[in-house]
Amino acid sequence: MLQLKSLTLPSPIIQSPMVGCTDLAYRLVARRRGMTFAFIEMVSSNGLMHESRKTKEIMQTNAEDRPLGAQLMGCDADVMSKAAQRVEEMGYDLLDLNLGCPVRKVTSGGAGAAMLKDPQNTRRVFESVVQAVKKIPVTIKMRLGYEDPSGEEAVEIARIAEASGISMITVHGRTRAQGYTGKANWDAIGKVKRAVKIPVLGNGDVLTAEHARDLQERSGCDGVMIGRGALGNPWLFGQIHDRLFRKQDPIAPTREERIAAVMEHMNLEVELLGEQKAVYHMRRIGGWYIAGVTNAAQWRNQLVRSRTVSEVRDTLLAALEKSAEFRVVPSTMTEGQ
């Protein structure tokens, strides 16, 4: 359990905001299988203030989708504070600030991971946002550093965050320069944990409950934020909670449960987006669910050629029903995660 101001999170195993991945359909599928807290995809503070069509689509939600956090990207203190007020007014339970996005189009403007290079402006953003919201907690998600893998940049920002009234910190164990290559440095996450008193979550390379246990043991972190490891594996949140807090061995889903999940995901995409857009989405989403099956590349090639919901359904069913094994493998990252 995590207590952040007036918000109580029943589990410190939470979902990372991921561009192009953590839409409403994804969140509902995962919530029904053990995830207790979710984020919408990252939202630009400028896009929110201008009420862009894309931002409205990203922020689609419903009554089942609670508790729910929003993540803002931006580096202008005035714009970020106004956007933060808007997020609170819209009824979100938590606001996270993005200091981790490594994409050039974000960092070139000083936002995302580039904020690690400018502690003075980052302090202004933190203080403005914390002052702007009245009730909900403000948290941050950041990288170990811009180029320095030691974690010292993250420690400096973490101390600024704590002094500014930030309620929790999540650290992805890679630098901006690494992108998503190499291995996450879980030991360096521990430097941040030891530098502050507010809760610190670890993030990066957690694909199994055992990985989460190892991350927590090596870093001393208070919880884990799960990203690509749960794409196509919505049971991971509950498995990790069982391993860390109930000391139970995680139970792998059956083939029938995997089929039920991907079919449910597809039906939700159709319901929320319409058939044409759902097919486009499921060419990619379906790949998450079959990433570890026998002859996955063959099935994936067939999936991306699908043009109708029926073709998507038939391919996914065949891939899962005929597979002799299933291995946990990381899904491909997309921009901005």
Q: How many angstroms separate the CA atoms of 276 and 328, rounded? A: 30
* Eight-class DSSP state of 228: G
Q: How many angstroms separate the CA atoms of 217 and 225, rounded? A: 15
Contact predicate 75/128, CB 8 Å: no
Q: How many angstroms separate the CA atoms of 112 and 99, rounded? A: 4
Q: List Cβ neighbours of 35 (8 Å cut-off, separation of 6 or more).
A: 13, 14, 15, 27, 230, 234, 237, 238
Helix locations, the chain, DSSP H = 24-31, 45-49, 53-58, 77-89, 104-107, 119-132, 152-164, 186-195, 209-219, 236-245, 255-273, 275-289, 296-304, 309-322
Q: How far is CA 85 from the centre of its chain?
A: 22
**Cβ burial 48-84 (10 Å sphere, 16+ → b, else e):** beeeeeebeebbebeeeeeebbbbbbbbbbebbbbbb
Q: Which of 21, 75, 101, 221 is catalytic?
A: 101
Contact predicate 249/243, CB 8 Å: yes
33 closest CA partner among 258, 247, 238: 238
Q: How many angstroms separate the CA atoms of 48 and 176, rounded? A: 25
Catalytic annotation present for 21? no
- Annotated catalytic residues are 101
